[in-house]
Amino acid sequence: MKPADVFIAVLVAVIWGLAFVASRIALDELSPELMTALRFSIAAIPCLFVRRPDVSWPLLIAISLSLFLGQFLAQAFAIAHGVPVGLSSVIVQSQALFTIAFAALVFRELPTRTQTAGVAIATIGLLMIAGTVGYDFSVAAFAVLMISPVSFAVGNLALRRAQGARMFDLFAWLCLAAAVPLFTLALVSNGPQPTWHALTHISLTGLACLLFLGGVSTSIAYWLWGRLLRDYPAAQVVPFALLVPFVGSAASSIVFGETFGRLRLAGMLTVIGGIAVMLLAKRPQALPKTA
């Protein structure tokens, strides 16, 4: 990779790691539904200037509900209900585990031995983390957070069906498809008056966090990531995502004073290690078709 593109890959990982901290700050003023709706509304602004990509509405909605709505709404709910930011950033990256598992089931992509070992290592790490649940946040919050990597994985596979679409245009319209139901959910769950009050009384700090989440972390970062995946093999680009949980955990410890017990820290490092094994493994081979 060119030095400039390496810098971009690292920059995207840093942006995504800091986005967990921005989400935590914004959630002090907004409900998870409203915060997520505003995030995608800001990211959907380019829809005013770009045409809808040549992707059917059912596929567009399916990708949006999994890759964006399901993933980020689950994150927001979990963080709002006490799951530490650094831990959240690690759990979300376990999507690699679920992506490989779902690809084997749906596309019959047989994982390599190295990938299987990575899945096993990451699973052990998740079990170690699960052993710390119930002390500083609830089992229910952890269960909600686990929806995020599962939705992420489903969205990854659904995104394959949109090959050939312009990345920037596609992600803008995916954000729009997520923002509409999220606003509806916010109005139903919070009520029109509380929703309006939250919108009109948001602080400058909360607004800055939303602009970062929507304009930078979602719109710009996803576009840059898509360009890298277009120009280089995935094996060269995807490992940079391993920086995200490190950035998220470090930023959370600095901003919120987040600390990790020995078992949780060991579990987090084990998950990251398993993900590294999965990402650095050779590409899985498709199972032969039977007559």
| Per-residue three-class SS string for 161-205 | HHCCCCHHHHHHHHHHHHHHHHHHHHHHHHCHHHHHHHHHCCCHH
Percent of the chain predicted with pLDDT > 70: 93
Of the spans 92-106, 149-163, 187-201, 229-243, which averages the highest pLDDT? 187-201
Contacts of 5 (CB under 8 A, 6+ apart): 228, 231, 232
In a domain, 197, yes or no: yes
In a domain, 227, yes or no: yes
What is the pLDDT, as a whole number, of residue 181?
A: 94
With bands split at pLDDT 50, 70 and 90, how would you rate the model's confidence at 275?
A: confident
The closest of 153, 66, 125, 151 to 245, measured between CA atoms, is 125
pTM of the entire predicted model = 0.83
d(CA 248, CA 72): 15
CA dihedral 177, 178, 181, 182 (to 10 degrees): -150
The tokens for 287 are 């199972």
d(CA 39, CA 20): 13
Contacts of 174 (CB under 8 A, 6+ apart): 60, 63, 64, 67, 68
Domain of 243?
3-286
CB 225 within 8 A of CB 13: no
Residue 92 has pLDDT above 80, yes or no: yes
d(CA 196, CA 200): 6
What is the pLDDT, as a whole number, of residue 108?
A: 79
What is the pLDDT, as a whole number, of residue 27?
A: 94
What is the pLDDT, as a whole number, of residue 43?
A: 94
- What's the structural domain count of the chain? 1
Give the mean pLDDT of 37-64. 92
In a domain, 174, yes or no: yes
In a domain, 134, yes or no: yes
In a domain, 185, yes or no: yes
What is the separation, in whole angstroms, between the first and last Cα of the chain? 42
Residue 21 has pLDDT above 90, yes or no: yes
Residue 22 has pLDDT above 90, yes or no: yes
> For the segment 185-237, what is each residue's pLDDT rounded down to a tens digit?
999 999 999 999 999 999 999 999 999 999 999 989 888 887 787 777 666 67
Residue 287 has pLDDT above 50, yes or no: no
Per-position DSSP letters for 44-84, written without gaps between them: TGGGGTSPPPS--HHHHHHHIIIIIIIHHHHHHHHHHTT--
d(CA 38, CA 277): 36
The tokens for 120 are 């096993």
In a domain, 202, yes or no: yes
> For the segment 236-255, what is each residue's pLDDT rounded down to a tens digit?
677 777 788 888 888 888 88
CB 206 within 8 A of CB 25: yes
With bands split at pLDDT 50, 70 and 90, how would you rate the model's confidence at 283?
A: low
What is the pLDDT, as a whole number, of residue 231?
A: 76
d(CA 123, CA 61): 30
In a domain, 291, yes or no: no
> Mapping DSSP to helix (H, G, I), strand (E, B) and coil, where does residue 285 land?
strand
Residue 169 has pLDDT above 70, yes or no: yes
Mean pLDDT (the chain) is 85
Other residues' Cβ atoms within 10 Å of the Cβ of residue 82 = 11
In a domain, 282, yes or no: yes
The closest of 106, 88, 87 to 32, measured between CA atoms, is 88
What is the DSSP secondary structure assignment for residue 112, as one 8-state letter?
Answer: P
Which residues on adjacent β-strands are paired with residue 109? 286
